[in-house]
Amino acid sequence: MVGGGLAGAKAVEALRDKGFEGRLVLFAGEDHLPYERPPLSKDYLKTGEGLDNAFVHDRDWYAAHDVDVRTGTVVAALDRDAHEVVTEGGERLHWDRLLLATGSSPRRLTLPGADLDGVLSLRTIEDSDRLREALRPGQRLVLIGGGWIGLEVAAAAREAGADVTVLETLDLPLVRVLGPTVAQVFADLHREHGVDLRTGVSVEEITGEDGRVAGVRLGDGTTVPADTVVVGIGAAPNVGLAQGAGLEVDNGVLADAVGRTSDPDVFVAGDVANVEHPFLGRRVRVEHWANALDQPALVAAAMLDQQGPEPQLPFFFSDQYDLGLEYHGLGSPDDEVVVRGDLAGREFLAFWLRDGVVTAGMNVNVWDVGDAVKGLIRSRTRVDRAKLADADVPLENLT
């Protein structure tokens, strides 16, 4: 397994659960055992506590299951002809089956000042530790990008008393994911909590003094003062190893529905995997936690030439202030949106429809409806919009 995140750790777990008794080696580039990343923008970012719960398994588990975990070891190349991985230290290790779970990395700004001290991204434990230092009263935090990570960080910073500005190039944060009706909910939420949310803006430069960030200059010439800048403009799949080995790559490593790449002995899972999804009928690359949690069981079965579970629908969750949400499926901002419940009060379900069929559903501060939402999506049933919007009609009655 090349990649020491959640997907790699769940893959070795699944391989052992499915009866594989051979040698298992997991290469983790970070010095940590594999861990889950959601706490880095949520509880761990806020408190600095609870990190032990983020690790997928402790060291004793790997020892008990005879998994050779190589932390702090970076794989530099794949020799497909020899079936060997080559580490940065020059070690070569043979594989019979290889899993790439190399994840993704934050996209970097290419603007002047992007390398100043105090310009941060959020991907690792160390990133979260550095960012936490900025979450205190009087600190001026500027977030470039109004995506999920940016908004979660904004919420944590405001709860800690920091002054927060979010800069978003589009008219609303999250509008490419949710469409304008639901995206407006999040814009209102953050403004109500004191975030200076600026939409439709461009960033020209990060300014500094003595090598330290001092502000962000916008396209209209104004400068937003900053003690810390967090860049949250998305993530890019880590395809370097695959590309160097001649595997097919396009917005991730291309693979079939069970994670098999263009090399039948090389598989892929997690953020880096661009796989065929039988239910959705197209390729998808999903960067969310649930995909790294669930997909490895399917891929591990294929690595052992076994029948695996059915692919899950895409899923993610977020917590911001007193708003919690769960999102199932894969909608489009161009889909029709039907809302059930109190949109203004932020206690509702939203559904995305294409030709009258539900493609995705999101519950906001409404719980225990996930199975019903997934059932509605998987039914492919054309729904009555009035009934879908009526909270008195059980979702199960719409299929």
pLDDT tens across 321-353, in order?
A: 999 999 999 999 889 999 999 999 999 999 999
Residue linked to tokens 């919420």:
155
How far, CA to CA in Å, does 323 sit from each of 180, 189, 371?
18, 9, 20
Condensed to tens digits (0 to 9), the pLDDT of residues 277-302 reads: 999 999 999 999 999 999 999 999 99
How far apart are alpha carbons 41 and 209 in whole angstroms? 28
Residue 236 tokens read as: 């890019």
The Cβ of residue 66 has, within 10 Å, a number of other Cβ atoms equal to 12
- Distance between CA atoms of residues 44 and 133, nearest Å: 12
**pTM for this model (two decimals):** 0.94
Which two structure tokens, joined as six digits, stand for 346?
Answer: 């932020």
Instruction: Return d(Cα 327, Cα 204) in angstroms, integer.
Output: 34
Torsion, Cα 282 257 235 363, to 10 degrees, reads 70
Q: What is the pLDDT of residue 399?
A: 83
Enumerate domains of the chain plus CATH numbers: 6-105+235-303 (3.50.50.60), 108-231 (3.50.50.60), 322-398 (3.30.390.30)
Q: What is the DSSP string of 99-132?
A: EE---EEEPPP-STTTTSBTEE--SSHHHHHHHH
Residues of the chain with pLDDT under 70: none
| pLDDT for 65 | 98
